[in-house]
Chains A and B, each alone.
Chain A
Amino acid sequence: MTETLAFVMDMLVHATPLIVAGLAVAIAFRAGIWNIGADGQLIAGATAAAWIGVSTSTEIGWLALPLALIAGAIAGGAWAAIAAWLRSRFGVLEVISTIMLNFIAIYGVSYLVRGPLQEPTHVYPQTSSIVTGAHMPTLVAGTRLHWGFVIALVLAVTAWWVMRYSAAGFRIRASGANPFAARSAGLINVSRVTSVAFIVSGAIAGIAGAIEVSGVTFALYENISPGYGYTAIAVALLAGLNPLGVIGTGILFGALETAAGTMQRNIGVPATTASVIEAVVILAVIAVAQLRVHRATSVA
């Protein structure tokens, strides 16, 4: 019982950044923006949150947490805004610019944890721990599950509602589905709509990073993201870019990650084998989904 409970809790902890980053990818893809840079935006968000977490005074108490989350969102949005600006101003393909920005983010963190943000003894490449006011409170006492998971759920439902029922959501979907039709028939400023969607996507990815720092790692490290932003692409595509579906697929991938750890600990399956199994599962699921689509269309 307790072991199962611990597994479920760890699974939801793993799922949290994947759900949030998955939402970021889903929104961008819906707008026709191939945002491959959720990883960099997440790292930018984590960095900003860690910076707030180590530099604010302890006197502001719990206010540090919302401040860190907002800083994460702003940093993630700003990171995406670079690619959005390059796209609208010079027509730079976002697939290329966002990937490059991922590397800049990774090496930027590498520099920061050895330079300006390094912990005071200057021995370890990491920041010092964030103030307790910036810690995400735990959701279930005695486990690692934190309120970030609830934030992920709220974000997913909000994104679903906005995309489906609001005018802004309609403009995003129209711009993504057919930009020319959206421009000529709907009088939509496609360039502006997609730019805004891109930045919102980055901000959400930034929140994912901020949640990870405030709820799980409590400090900034170099390898803060094991490629959450890339896994998020699989999470979003598997959910058919539906924000509510992202909750389910995020939890699925969280379960895979957690099970990989359990297999290593209890039966000595090497980490690499676990990663291979994970990738095979992803491939199989995508192939089956594609097969279904194929069958459905060929019958019709």
Chain B
Amino acid sequence: MIKRFKLSRWYHISTLSTAIHSLFAISILACGAPVENRKPVTNQFKVALVTTGPISDQGWNAGAYKGLLMIRDSLGARISNVQTQTPAEIDENFRQYGAQSYNLVFGHGFEYQDPAIRVAPSFPMTAFATTSGTRTAPNVAGVTFAFSDGAYLAGIVAGAASHSGVIGTIGGTQVPPVVAAFKAFEAGARSVNPNVKLLTAYVGNWEDASAAKEQAMAQIARGADVIFQDADAAGLGVFQAARQAKTVRVIGSNSDQNEVAPEVTLGSVVIDLPRAMMMIARDVRNNTFKGHVYQLGDADGVVLWVANPKLAGEVSPATVARLDAAKKVIDAGTLKVPE
């Protein structure tokens, strides 16, 4: 009974508002076009984020979620996010967001570019942006990050901070962006200490923190005293290993991980995803969105070296000066960070 009462009351209100809306619409339009009057006149800006992993990973996906929240707060957008477990679910979610006329859909990973290209023609009013993607269409943009810019700077710090002359890198899986980042890291370290020895290991996935911890302990046993991790959620295991070893230092990736283990973290190579996402959302909002590849790096303020203030004492003024010099060269585009 109660349910029915509420329902009928809601019905009355909605018919009333519908009537008001139609009056408005008719008076504005004057001519007798068929009026779809259930929707408010102003269309709300709607933005969605699709990730392959949980937004609680304190890394890659968490950063994107932060960006989504920023878009909500500063552009007043309605937001939605979903985690896809399999490639099969990607098309489904893209289509659903397209059908609900979202203005912008972020696919956060390379897996999203083929589905975006496939789905986009059916939803010309929706812009799709895929991070790490390089394929484009009129309403599909790719977003790539010059992560190597930051990795090179991290290498300078690591090369200066290492006492043993052995530094480690631990990646999730051996994908080209990670391989490129480690090469840039090595080049940065060699610019300080040409004899530095680099150890590299891959966890095999992006989630297994205990496997990453084992890899880190193996590298520590071989003398590594600075480890750069780019392994997403698995990378948290590297911090644990360093905490146990005490004298070993870690460099974080993708988001500011300095607070994960402040006593052992020298700094983080941060991709300012929120900033990048805001840039694209603004473009969509201002109708200046183009289906091209957004290439964002240190010069755009999107890839940054963020030092951990708590361990600032461990980085010498000479190293800081070296960092500033390298940054200038990178921003001017004259330093060739190895690919």
Partner-B contacts on A (CB < 8 A): 2-3, 6, 10, 13-14, 114, 122-126, 129, 144, 212, 216-219, 221, 223-226, 258, 261-262, 264-266, 268, 270-272
Query: Known contacts being A6-B99, A125-B175, A265-B97, is A223 close to B80, with CB within 8 Å?
Result: no
From 15 to 60 in chain B, residues with beta carbon under 8 angstroms from any chain A beta carbon are 48, 54-55
> Per a CB cutoff under 8 Å, which of A217, A265, A271 touches B96?
A265
Q: Which A residues touch B48, using CB under 8 A?
A: 265
- The answer to whether A13 touches B92 (Cβ under 8 A) is yes
Which are the 10 A-B pairs with shortest beta-carbon distances? A271-B83, A264-B82, A226-B86, A221-B87, A216-B88, A226-B85, A217-B87, A124-B110, A265-B82, A123-B176
CA distance A268 to B82 in the complex (A): 8
Q: Which B residues touch A126, using CB under 8 A?
A: 111, 114
- Let me know if B314 is at the binding interface, CB within 8 A: no
Q: Which A residues touch B162, using CB under 8 A?
A: none
In chain B, what residue has the closest Cβ to A269? B82
- The answer to whether A261 touches B87 (Cβ under 8 A) is no
Least distance between B180 CB and chain A CB atoms (Å) = 10
- Let me know if B73 is at the binding interface, CB within 8 A: no
Contacts A10-B96, A265-B48 known; list 5 others, CB within 8 Å: A218-B114, A223-B85, A264-B82, A266-B80, A271-B85
0/1 interface trace, chain B 48-84, chain A, CB 8 Å (1 if under): 1000001100000000000000000000000011110
- Let me know if B173 is at the binding interface, CB within 8 A: yes
In chain A, what residue has the closest Cβ to B110? A124
- The answer to whether B83 touches A114 (Cβ under 8 A) is no
0/1 interface trace, chain B 134-171, chain A, CB 8 Å (1 if under): 10000000000000000000000000000000000000
Interface pairs (16), CB distance under 8 Å: A3-B99, A6-B96, A123-B134, A123-B175, A126-B114, A218-B114, A221-B87, A221-B111, A223-B86, A224-B87, A261-B92, A265-B96, A265-B97, A266-B80, A271-B82, A271-B83
Least distance between B112 CB and chain A CB atoms (Å) = 11
Least distance between A219 CB and chain B CB atoms (Å) = 6
Q: Which B residues touch A10, using CB under 8 A?
A: 92, 96
Interface residues on B, range: 20 to 34
- The answer to whether B89 touches A261 (Cβ under 8 A) is yes
- Let me know if B319 is at the binding interface, CB within 8 A: no
Q: Which A residues touch B91, using CB under 8 A?
A: 144, 216
Q: Which A residues touch B174, using CB under 8 A?
A: 114
Partner-A contacts on B (CB < 8 A): 48, 54-55, 80-83, 85-89, 91-93, 95-97, 99, 110-111, 114, 118, 134, 173-176
Query: Known contacts being A219-B114, A224-B86, A224-B87, is A125 close to B81, with CB within 8 Å?
Result: no
> Per a CB cutoff under 8 Å, which of A217, A262, A265 touches B88?
A217
CA distance A264 to B50 in the complex (A): 10
Q: Which B residues touch A14, using CB under 8 A?
A: 88
Q: Which A residues touch B111, using CB under 8 A?
A: 124, 126, 221
In chain B, what residue has the closest Cβ to A124? B110
CA distance A224 to B99 in the complex (A): 25
Q: Which A residues touch B85, using CB under 8 A?
A: 223, 226, 271
CA distance A120 to B255 in the complex (A): 31
CA distance A217 to B134 in the complex (A): 19
- The answer to whether A265 touches B80 (Cβ under 8 A) is yes
CA distance A220 to B96 in the complex (A): 23
Least distance between A237 CB and chain B CB atoms (Å) = 22
- The answer to whether B114 touches A261 (Cβ under 8 A) is no
CA distance A55 to B83 in the complex (A): 32
CA distance A270 to B56 in the complex (A): 10
CA distance A222 to B129 in the complex (A): 22
Q: Which B residues touch A6, using CB under 8 A?
A: 95-96, 99
- The answer to whether B81 touches A264 (Cβ under 8 A) is yes
CA distance A219 to B117 in the complex (A): 14
CA distance A262 to B88 in the complex (A): 15
CA distance A262 to B99 in the complex (A): 13
In chain A, what residue has the closest Cβ to B90? A217
